């Protein structure tokens, strides 16, 4: 079955967007995939002994606004390996379903939609899921998604397979920049 843009009633979209956080702030920089940090990934060839798999940093969820039931999830995915990978799905008992979303601007309005075919994590690079950019959308988030709690999930990658992750739930107003410091406290 072909994927199609999600049609969401305006009232629900407003709530969902609230869950996604404020419109991107110039101070937070570009929301696009982060370019590979070093080296020449275009010339990347498999190197014996090079680390495989993916690494996840600073996974967190934003507590949904009251009665919204939609939470946004953020994390940094690093792929030190020599092959591109792809985040295909996210599984958790804490929500009815998890979608992988991207934001784009249409007529001056930020709109989000599900990424078709999963989110590519380039070889030797990383992708940030952060407010205003790529994010996870937990539809039907349960009562366990409350600030201060932790939510277990499994990220399903095309190459790396199933990767367990524990999201820290932060208050509805939490933003990426403000949380950098405390993110490394555990
Ligand atoms: Cu979304």
Range of the domain at 126: 51-176
Q: Is residue 97 part of a domain?
A: yes
pLDDT at residue 164, rounded to an integer: 97
- Identify whether 16 is part of a domain: no
> What is the number of H-type helices and E-type strands within the chain?
2, 10
pTM of the entire structure?
0.69
Question: For residue 97, what is the domain's CATH number?
Answer: 2.60.40.1890
Cα(65) to centroid of ligand 1, in Å?
Answer: 14
Give distance in angstroms: CA of 99 to centre of ligand 1: 8
Spell out the residues 6+ positions from residue 76 whose beta carbon is closer than 8 angstroms to its own.
56, 57, 58, 126, 127, 128, 129, 130
Could you read off the pLDDT of 54-110 as tens digits, one per residue? 999 999 999 998 888 999 999 999 999 999 999 999 999 999 999 999 998 889 898
Q: How far is the CA of 139 from the centre of ligand 1 (A)?
A: 9
**Number of domains observed in the structure of the chain:** 1
Q: Please tell me which of 9-18, 38-47, 126-135, 176-185 the model is most confident about, judged by mean pLDDT.
A: 126-135
**CA–CA dist 9, 110 (Å, integer):** 15
């Amino acid at each position: 079955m072909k994927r199609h843009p999600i049609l969401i009633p305006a009232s629900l979209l407003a709530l969902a967007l609230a869950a996604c956080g404020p419109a991107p702030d110039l101070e937070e920089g570009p929301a696009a995939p982060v370019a590979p940090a070093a080296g020449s990934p275009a010339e990347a060839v498999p190197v014996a002994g090079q680390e495989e798999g993916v690494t996840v940093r600073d996974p967190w969820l934003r507590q949904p606004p009251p009665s919204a039931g939609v939470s946004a999830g953020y994390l940094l995915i690093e792929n030190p390996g020599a092959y591109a990978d792809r985040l295909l799905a996210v599984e958790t008992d804490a929500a009815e379903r998890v979608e992988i979303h991207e934001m784009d601007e249409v007529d001056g309005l930020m709109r989000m939609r599900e990424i078709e075919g999963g989110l590519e994590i380039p070889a030797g690079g990383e992708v940030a899921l952060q407010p205003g950019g790529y994010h996870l959308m937990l539809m039907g988030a349960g009562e366990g998604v409350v600030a201060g709690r932790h939510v277990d999930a499994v990220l399903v990658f095309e190459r790396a397979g199933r990767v367990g992750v524990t999201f820290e739930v932060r208050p509805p107003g939490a933003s990426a920049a403000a949380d950098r410091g405390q993110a490394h406290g555990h």
